[in-house]
Amino acid sequence: LTSKLPKVGTTIFTVMSALAAEKGAVNLGQGFPDFDCDPQLVNAVTDAMQRGLNQYPPMAGVPVLREAVAAKLAALHGRSYDAGSEITITAGATQAIITIILAVVHPGDEVIVLEPCYDSYVPNIELAGGTVVRVPLTPGTFRPNFEKISAAISPRTRAIIVNSPHNPSATVWSEADMRRLQDILAPTNVLLISDEVYEHMVFDADKGQIHQSAARFAGLAARAFIVSSFGKTYHVTGWKVGYIAAPAALTAEFRKVHQFNVFSVNTPVQHGLAAYMADDRPYLDLPAFYQRKRDLFRAGLQNTRFRLLPSEGSYFQCVDISDVSELGEADFCQWLTTEIGVAAIPLSAFYGDGFDQRVVRFCFAKKDETLHLALERLAKL
């Protein structure tokens, strides 16, 4: 058999979680909370199951949940999406992204990714027969370089994938960044795949920082598939439910593939999420919740020789390891997990050529006691 993805092995997240489990290490590698979700959310899903909501939902998702998503986008970003024709519930952001790519990328089309980038994008583009065009984010700051983005656009460019807040660098695009992107895309037909799974984890609101969704910019929204994940927002990464918001014509193409990709997504979880979102808007507490964990973790890291990079959003903290070790990032993460008992992810895993800049990523979506234990171990370095 000739592999369709000859360069792809097991994802770094799976590899590091397995190593952490084997070595009994504190797992700050793979991004997921080690605490449970709100019991009320579990009750809402259980209730839906007990009410017999256990058969196929409509292909695009249960209407109440789509309406809750539309209401949220309108409240937060001032753009109205039609729940019937512009919102679709997906099996997590992962399925949303591959389905978008399969729906819009024709063989030979170019798709721009900004490196470092989430590990599913490139294989997704390759599966669709597209050509990956890699544009580096600025080394050190991970800021977008708009000259390079602009120069990468060709008549064959079908789409660009943008991810803010960013995994792995924890940077957040500003309003000026989004406007710049809008201006660059204005004379083109390039689609925007806006991966906003960390939309509710943007810190430092007192400094005026907010999540700049593509929904806030008319010229971007008109060409954008906005992707999010209930897993990140409600501490239920294992439920694998997310959504896309996109103009009706784009949504129609998305659904053609979605219906044969998964057809539809877990019914009781959708009803449970809708009921939970209707009661209040729990995502509003999320920035403060994670900012406190970020600050706790960063304060502890001051006692180590790691050099801290900014963490503006997401639940990640990157550190430069140069003063701690001579090892390359990937070897350092193996060593740290095995010998020190803390798992991390090397940034090189997010680059096609394995670019090693001696930076590793920690996830701080963990109980305070987990973070304290990890910090105790890291302080020995």
Q: Which residues bind ligand GLN (CB under 6 A)?
A: 11, 13, 30-31, 167
Query: How near is the Cβ of 98 to ligand PMP at its closest, in Å?
Result: 10
C-alpha separations of 98 from 56, 123, 188, 248, 369 in Å: 22, 9, 23, 19, 36
337 binds ligand PMP (CB under 6 A): no
In SS3 terms, 202-230 reads as: ECCHHHCCCCCCHHHCHHHHCCEEEEEEH
242 binds ligand PMP (CB under 6 A): yes
**Taking CB under 6 A as the rule, which mask of x and - marks residues 197-236 in contact with ligand PMP?**
x-------------------------------x-x-----
CB nearer to ligand PMP: pick between 234 and 332: 234
Is 180 within 8 Å of 212 (Cβ atoms)?
no
Query: How near is the Cβ of 9 to ligand PMP at its closest, in Å?
Result: 18
Beta strands per DSSP E along the chain: 26-27, 87-90, 110-115, 131-136, 157-163, 191-195, 224-229, 242-245, 307-308, 316-320, 342-343, 345-346, 359-363
Stretch that binds ligand PMP, among 88-96, 185-193, 244-252, 300-308 (CB under 6 A): 88-96
Other beta carbons within 10 angstroms of residue 353's beta carbon come to 8
Question: Hey, CA dihedral for 238, 213, 291, 282, is it positive or negative?
Answer: negative
Backbone torsions φ then ψ of 132, nearest 5 degrees = -85, 125
**Taking CB under 6 A as the rule, which mask of x and - marks residues 105-134 in contact with ligand PMP?**
-------------x----------------
Nearest residue to ligand GLN, using CB?
A: 31
Query: How near is the Cβ of 228 to ligand PMP at its closest, in Å?
Result: 8
Stretch that binds ligand PMP, among 92-100, 202-210, 342-350, 359-367 (CB under 6 A): 92-100
Query: How near is the Cβ of 163 to ligand PMP at its closest, in Å?
Result: 5
d(C-alpha 291, C-alpha 362), whole Å: 15
93 binds ligand PMP (CB under 6 A): yes
What's the number of CA atoms in the CB half-sphere (13 Å) around residue 255?
19
Amino acid making up residue 163: N
Nearest residue to ligand PMP, using CB?
A: 92
Q: Which two tokens stand for residue 66?
A: 């789509």
261 binds ligand PMP (CB under 6 A): no
CA torsion 128→87→265→98, rounded to 10°?
A: 10
**Taking CB under 6 A as the rule, which mask of x and - marks residues 165-204 in contact with ligand PMP?**
--x---------------------------x-x-------
Beta strands per DSSP E along 40-98: 87-90
d(C-alpha 96, C-alpha 258), whole Å: 8
Query: How near is the Cβ of 268 to ligand GLN at its closest, in Å?
Result: 23
Backbone torsions φ then ψ of 88, nearest 5 degrees = -135, 135
Sites for ligand PMP among residues 1-40 (CB under 6 A) = 31
CB nearer to ligand PMP: pick between 258 and 341: 258
Q: Which two tokens stand for residue 308?
A: 């801290």
Query: How near is the Cβ of 343 to ligand GLN at its closest, in Å?
Result: 11
The binding site for ligand PMP (CB under 6 A) comprises 31, 92-94, 118, 163, 167, 195, 197, 229, 231, 237, 240, 242
